[in-house]
Structure 1
Amino acid sequence: MKKFWAIIMAALLVLGQAEVIEAAAGAKPAITNAVAGAKPAAGKGANAAQQLAAGPRLTNIRYGDGAERLRIVLDVSSLPEYLVSRENNNTRLVVTMNGISTALKAAPATRSRVLKDIILGTYGSDTVQLIVDMKAPLDTKVYKLANPDRLVIDIQKEYEKEFTRNIAQGLAYTKYVRLDSRGMVTAYSLEIDRSRFDIGLALAGG
């Protein structure tokens, strides 16, 4: 009987050791991912911030106001992608730069007589927009220069235009607009065929 129980106990001992060995073989250490070099989620955000900081930056806006043109220079750390559009009957120039950041809060003031305002705006962390409101639909040119990198806007100061409308046969209305470095002049005229109309003085409002 003692020999029987000794055999049973030996069998149970062998079985228990096998289970322990199997469990140890299948266990995965908690630090497996760390050993394999896995990066925590916070690391991805840090990398994205570093990439943004290393991207193009608008560092300064300066003006060159000459007799024939106004030059706006955007100093950048590297040249960004940009789009140019015109609004408000071509009196507003909009330059939108993508993939760029800036610490500037506003565009510096300019006393140019051909402009109404210059507005600097940011959208998110990677889009910068410069809005140039002009007093007339002036000719403009936007282009890149390198060494150092900069984006240049040239605005021609001289503008002259006549708008004529025939109100009736023998009666023509004309609006004349001229803009140059001295300022803006607007004039109106009415051309009348005196064989068709009588001309006289009248007191407005009775």
Structure 2
Amino acid sequence: MRFVLVHGAWCRAVHWGRVPALLRQAGHDVLAIDLPDSPAADITLDAYANAILDATIKGDLLVGHSMGGMAISAAAARDPERFPHMVYVAAFLPEDGQSLIDIKKSDSRSLIDSVQVEDAHSTRLIAAKAGGELMHDAPQDLVDWAAAQLRAQPNRPQTDPFSMHDPRFRLIPKTFVQCLNDRVITPAKQAAMSGAAPICTTIPIPTGHFPQLSHPQMLSDILLSIHTELH
């Protein structure tokens, strides 16, 4: 069973930090996907789903961080038999018809002051502001490095509604890693999303929004324990 790691908005595969290496050191195959980002006008939530489906095989373990939860949900809703388990790390877990923006509107946290318009089809995070919200509990040198790797984010994957193409998606067992010190998605919103899923185990951890940077060993150990339970 291979770990397939899917990053969040404005991010890249490198934003999984040391987690891929730690999983490989434990003897596992890992694929960290870079979601498509260009041309921004053509990038949709379906484009994310296609990228994941093109890169995965039956039996892969999907792990999504933040907006990556929308992406893995969109992929798994098209082919739920491909994925035996899904992990949401402080991630968006939508209901049918919900967009990321819909979910965020009902949350008390927002990154709006850290976002600037890149062009008509994308936005960019103001790195100096975003680091303090996204990665406030990570070492400063790592925050500086990660902020420098941020990229423009196409708009549509955040505004496109999630479509439950196959209702068996709801029956895929899921684990939600709830970050209790998150300044991007409140712990209460995370709990609400995980609680709405019919088969979902919640694992609370005392971290901010990016445990893969602030506590990579802790997150890796959780992923490894899930893998062990599935075998």
Question: Same-fold call, TM > 0.5?
Answer: no
Q: TM-score range by the shorter chain?
A: under 0.3
Q: Give the structure with the larger helix fraction.
A: 2
Structure 2 length normalisation: TM-score? Answer: 0.20
Q: Give the structure with the larger strand fraction.
A: 1
Larger Rg: 1
Structure 1 length normalisation: TM-score? Answer: 0.22
The higher-RCO structure (CA 8 Å, 6+ apart) is 2
